[in-house]
Amino acid sequence: MEINNLIKNQIINMIQTAASSEATEAVSTSDTLSLSTQVVHFLQTAWQLLPALALGVVVIVLCYYLARPISYLLIKPVGYVSKSRLLHLVTRRFISVLVIFFGIYIFLRLAGLSEFAVAVMSGTGLVGLILGFAFRDIAENFISSMLLSVQRPFRIDDVIEVDNRLGIVKKVTARATTLVDYDGNHIQIPNATVYKNVIKNFTANPKTRGHFKIGIGYDNDIRLTQQIAIDLLKEQSAVLNDPPPQVLLEALGSATINLTIYFWVNSEQHSPIKVASQLMRETVNCFTEHGISMPDDARERIIIAANNETPGSIKEATSNSSGKGASVKQKNKPTITAVDADIDDVSSDADEIREQAEHARSPEEGDNII
């Protein structure tokens, strides 16, 4: 009986082993068949999509090469609106990017990835929004540059004042405006600051008004003094007759009648500061020749006499000392043999600063946008 049971168990084990091996072979065979089926299905799908993929690649290539001529064609109407080179460049590149993105979108649609195409377009807009917040200052400067190039509140070589900074415009790039002040320094002002601040353009109207003040004594004829000053101003070649110069009574001081003298000059040819300096010198000389007094503020001098001195002796001593001082002053008065031509120079400094800016090293690379 034991021998029979042993033989029976061995036969059962052999049958189970054979069954398991057959099952394994069947599973492996089915897996192989499944993998082969998938490969074949993929190849069939790829073969079916191959014409569409090829057409999508052709569309992308065509869009890439047609982006430039299409942008130049569509940008022509903008040329009738504005001559801004920056606006033309930005608009042209924007149109080119749109054409290329359109080609990519068509390729994804032909490849059967419509949802992915929509996701790509949406993601592009979201990324642009995020970058806009991250680089807000840079974007603000760039937009300000476009607005400046379109509106053109000033030109290259104009004398302007922005944010309490006076200078000559040397360069306007996509980031900043470069000024050269009258000390020869290069000043870079961000375009956002330029656009948001008050811009004072001294070159747009070359006529500039200057003025200076002078005081005369109360013993003078005011009307006659005003007429003498106006006649003097009209004799100066640097002073414009239109608008005419004016001599106005400003205030009544403690010892003087204060006059303000207004005059107009062509700032492109003459410097208002230099003209004012020359006019003050000529006005003082002219008033002195006509006997018009220009006293200083009233001062009271009190001299206390000593016990052994009388007021008469003090007055005499004061007179003698004044006489001696006057004689010494008259004796030591220098004699002018020749007058330097630079003293009478009233030419404008703008041309000299422009020449210095032209030969100076540019602090920022980039082309002018206006």
- In tens, the pLDDT along 158-187 reads 889 998 888 889 888 878 888 988 888 888
Under a CB-based contact definition with an 8 Å cutoff, are residues 345 and 272 in contact?
A: no
Q: Facing residues of 140 across strands?
A: none
Does position 317 have pLDDT exceeding 50, yes or no?
no
Pairwise pLDDT comparison (322 vs 43), residue with the higher score: 43
Pairwise pLDDT comparison (367 vs 324), residue with the higher score: 367
Does position 304 have pLDDT exceeding 90, yes or no?
no
Does position 156 have pLDDT exceeding 80, yes or no?
yes
- Helices 2-74 and 85-110 pack at an angle, to 10 degrees, of 150
Q: How many residues are present in the chain?
A: 370
331: number of Cβ within 10 Å: 7
pLDDT at 285: 93
pLDDT tens digits for 210-259?
999 999 999 899 999 999 999 999 998 889 988 899 999 998 888 889 99
pLDDT at 232: 92
Q: Which amino acid is at 14?
A: M
Residue 47's pLDDT band (cuts 50, 70, 90): low
End-to-end CA distance of the chain: 114
E strands of 142-245, at which residues? 159-162, 165-172, 176-180, 186-190, 199-201, 207-216
**What is the share, in percent, of the chain residues with pLDDT greater than 90?**
17
Q: Which CATH architecture has domain 141-204+346-370?
A: Roll (2.30)
Does position 309 have pLDDT exceeding 70, yes or no?
no
Written as six digits, the tokens of 216 are 């005369």
Residue 50's pLDDT band (cuts 50, 70, 90): confident
Distance CA(332)–CA(323), nearest Å, equals 14
pLDDT at 35: 62
pLDDT at 288: 92
pLDDT at 34: 66
CA nearest neighbour of 226 among 251, 246, 255: 246
Q: What is the mean pLDDT of residues 105-118?
A: 72
pLDDT at 171: 85
Pairwise pLDDT comparison (302 vs 246), residue with the higher score: 246
What is the Rg, in whole angstroms, of the alpha carbon atoms belonging to the chain?
Answer: 46
What DSSP state is assigned to residue 221?
Answer: -
Does position 80 have pLDDT exceeding 50, yes or no?
yes
Under a CB-based contact definition with an 8 Å cutoff, are residues 110 and 53 in contact?
A: yes
Does position 145 have pLDDT exceeding 80, yes or no?
yes
Which of 101-115, 128-142, 307-321 is the least confident region? 307-321
- Domain assignments of the chain as residue spans, ordered by start: 74-134, 141-204+346-370, 206-294
Distance CA(37)–CA(62), nearest Å, equals 37
Q: pTM of the full predicted structure?
A: 0.57
Distance CA(275)–CA(278), nearest Å, equals 5
Q: What is the mean pLDDT of residues 259-275?
A: 90
Distance CA(282)–CA(231), nearest Å, equals 12
Does position 299 have pLDDT exceeding 70, yes or no?
no
Average pLDDT of the residues of the chain: 75
CA nearest neighbour of 347 among 242, 264, 272: 272
Distance CA(244)–CA(159), nearest Å, equals 24
Tell me which long-range contacts 267-270 makes (C-beta under 8 A, separation of at least 24): 267/159, 267/202, 267/203, 267/206, 267/207, 267/208, 267/348, 267/350, 268/203, 268/206, 268/348, 268/350, 269/206, 269/238, 269/347, 269/348, 270/238, 270/346, 270/347, 270/348
> How far from 261 is each of 237, 257, 293, CA to CA, in Å?
16, 13, 17
pLDDT at 315: 45
CATH fold label, 206-294 = Alpha-Beta Plaits (3.30.70)
| Ramachandran category for residue 295: left, alpha or beta (phi over 0 → left; psi -120 to 50 → alpha) | beta
What DSSP state is assigned to residue 333?
Answer: P
Q: What is the mean pLDDT of residues 49-73?
A: 82
